[in-house]
Structure 1
Amino acid sequence: MANILLVIVSILTGILLQKIRDFPADTPKALNAYLIYVVLPAISLLHISRLELSLSLLLPVSVAWIIFSLTWVFFGYLGEKFAWKRNTTGCLIICGGLSNTGFVGYPIIEALYGIEGLKIAVLVDQPGSFLVVSSLAIIVASVYGEEKMRKRDISRKMVFFPPFLFFILALLLNLFQIKIEGVVEYLLQQFSATLTPIALIAVGLQIKIKPQDIKDNFLWFGLVHKLFLVPLLIFIIYFPILGSSPSQNLIFKVSVMEAAMASMITSSIIASNFNLRPKLASLLVGIGIPLSFISLAGWYFLLEYLR
């Protein structure tokens, strides 16, 4: 209960800080940079280096790839059938196919399922969501929008992204059975502990919703798809494989819950850079995140009921 309260208070703190006139407007950018360059690498080093590797872990890694691929097919088909504008279709594919498995997903999964759940969430996020947003999402943006990045620049950005670099390092430590202990372990634990409040305060600072913004039908197409259809899809695919196995039940729960997260913040940035309905992309994130706390509660209780 205390962890859930921390999630709520952190979000509300970010929203209230928006009301302070002299509060720096670029604070979310600074907080996100801290998370990217310090906290997420610390989490990878601390948890992935100790993870007991098995073939079953390929399933959480596959979550993001399954979601994005099927979302591309789904909205691509609807866009052609109903003659939607290409920038609308591209926006819905990118924002509807990418879950916020990191900044929002990590703290919520940790609050609900503890450290063991967080280890699985890192697998969903790093070799899953991050690689998808760095590859397939850029391809979709190029197909449906205006190309603004060279392939070489995309590859460099992916390879040198700090959390990904440290994920690879942590994986190597795991494979060679090199343990992180002592002072280094302590430091990583302290930095990792700042994830929940910092990430969700940053999210709260970026939630800005106006009444007139909710009249776009495409907004609701995207929200229903992301918050309900996507986790339902992962539930249907993964339940026969993992749901009935006590030893793999946590992998099943985390996979479904990560799929149920709102759209990734980075997806709106990509959509904006390629002129794919920037306002719609922003709304899918800004409205999707607070709505997701309600839908996530429903998915959580459903998963607990099936245990």
Structure 2
Amino acid sequence: MSNIFLVIISILVGIFLQRIREFPSDAPKALNAYLIYVVLPAVSLLHISKLELSLSLLLPISVAWIVFTLTWLIFGYLGKKLDWKRNTIGCLIICGGLSNTGFVGYPIIEAIYGVEGLKIAVLVDQPGSFLVVSSLAIIVASIYGEEKMRKRDISKRMLFFPPFLFFILALLLNLFQLEIKGVLQHVLESFSATLTPIALIAVGLQIKIKPQDIKDNFLWLGLIHKLLFIPLAIFMLYFWILGDTPTENLIFKVSVMEAGMASMITSSIIAGNFNLRPKLASLLVGIGIPLSFITLAGWYFLLAYLR
């Protein structure tokens, strides 16, 4: 549960730093650059390189791909139909399609479903969410960003996006069974440990809630989609696919709970990096995380009642 307190405190620190005049106004951009070029590659090398690959991963991994694809279809269609701005569509797809399956998801899943539940959560997060954020999210950001890009340029931008490059490197290390250990492992662990506080402080620095922000229909549309509709979609799909054996039941519950997590911290980083309404992205994360504690409690009791 200490991770949950870290999430809340980090956001509050970012909000507090806004009040310090000497603190640089462009600090969020600098922090995001540090995360993209240093921390996310370190996380990829540290975790993907050690992941045990097998066919049993497919069902939990599918959660992240289903969530992002469904979100892309929904907001892509609505945005075009209702003539929304492209940066708004891109922001809603990225933030609505990426769940915080790791830094918020891990402690919550472990607290309610134990170590066995945590193992499934890792499958949802690492080869699922992490791969989606390193590939599909960058494609969407390139498509809906301010610059109109050719398919070749989009592919190039994705392939040379630092976290994606290091994801490929980590996957190769995994396939060739080359282990990261010793001093290098310690260095990667040290950088990786800064992800949650630094990313959430950057989010807190950008949260400047005004009455007109709360009235923003896109904010509430994104929150309702992420915290209610998406877990409902996974609930209905996996309830039909999975049986009621103990293992399948646990996969079902963890999958729904992970789908119902607030937007991934990295989604606001990508939105900011591609200028896809960074303030809206920060609000979706900053407001979504504390609000998700309430909605997740509802999903937990519903799942416990039904199975």
Q: Same fold (TM over 0.5)?
A: yes
Matched, 1:2 2:6: no
2:65–2:132 contact (8 Å) kept in structure 1: yes
Identity across matched positions, percent: 50
Q: CA deviation at 1:13?
A: 0.5
State the alpha-carbon separation in 2 of the partners of residues 94 and 283 from structure 1: 8
- Structure 2 residue runs without a partner (length 5+): 111-117
2:188 corresponds to: 188
Q: 1:95 to 1:171 in 2, by over 3 A?
A: same
What is the correspondence of 1:18-57 to structure 2 with a 5 Å cutoff?
18-57=18-57
TM-score scaled by length of structure 2? 0.78
Asked whether the equivalents of residues 67 and 230 of structure 2 are also in contact (C-alpha less than 8 Å), the reply is yes
Matched, 1:85 2:86: no
Checking the alignment, whether the CA contact within 8 Å between 2:257 and 2:299 is kept in structure 1 is no
Q: Structure 2: how far apart are the matches of 1:182 and 1:86?
A: 51
Q: Does 1:265 align with 2:263?
A: no
Alignment of 1:283 with 2:280, yes or no, is yes
Partner secondary structure for residue 204 of structure 1: helix
> Is residue 2:254 matched to residue 1:253?
yes
Task: Tell me the number of residue pairs that the alignment of Structure 1 and Structure 2 aligns.
Answer: 293
- 1:230 aligned onto 2:235: no
Instruction: Give structure 1 stretches of 5+ with no counterpart.
Output: none
Do the aligned residues in 1 keep the contact of 2:260 with 2:296 (CA within 8 Å)? no
Note if contact 2:97-2:226 (Cα within 8 Å) is conserved in structure 1: no
How far 1:159 sits from its partner (Å)? 0.6
Q: Let me know the Cα RMSD of the aligned residues.
A: 3.4
CA deviation after TM superposition for structure 1 residue 111, in Å? 3.7
Shift of 1:194: 1.6
1:71 paired residue number: 71
**Deviation at 1:120?**
4.2
Given that 2:15 and 2:205 are in contact with CA atoms closer than 8 Å, whether structure 1 keeps it comes out as yes
Residue deviations 1:99-121, cap 9 Å, x none?
Answer: 4748x654223443578545642
- Using the TM superposition, name which of 169-178 and 55-64 deviates more: 55-64
Question: How far apart are the structure 1 equivalents of 2:257 and 2:153?
Answer: 33
Does the 8 A contact of 1:49 with 1:171 survive in 2? yes
**Counterpart for residue 109 of structure 1:** 105
Q: TM-score, normalised by structure 1?
A: 0.78
Q: Please tell me whether the aligned partners of residues 44 and 163 of structure 1 are also in contact (alpha carbons under 8 angstroms).
A: yes
Partners in 2 of 1:299 and 1:33 — Cα distance? 31
**Which aligned pairs between 1:8-19 and structure 2 lie closer than 5 A?**
8-19=8-19
The 3-state SS of whatever aligns with 2:209 is: coil
Select between 14-23 and 215-224 the one with higher mean Cα deviation: 215-224
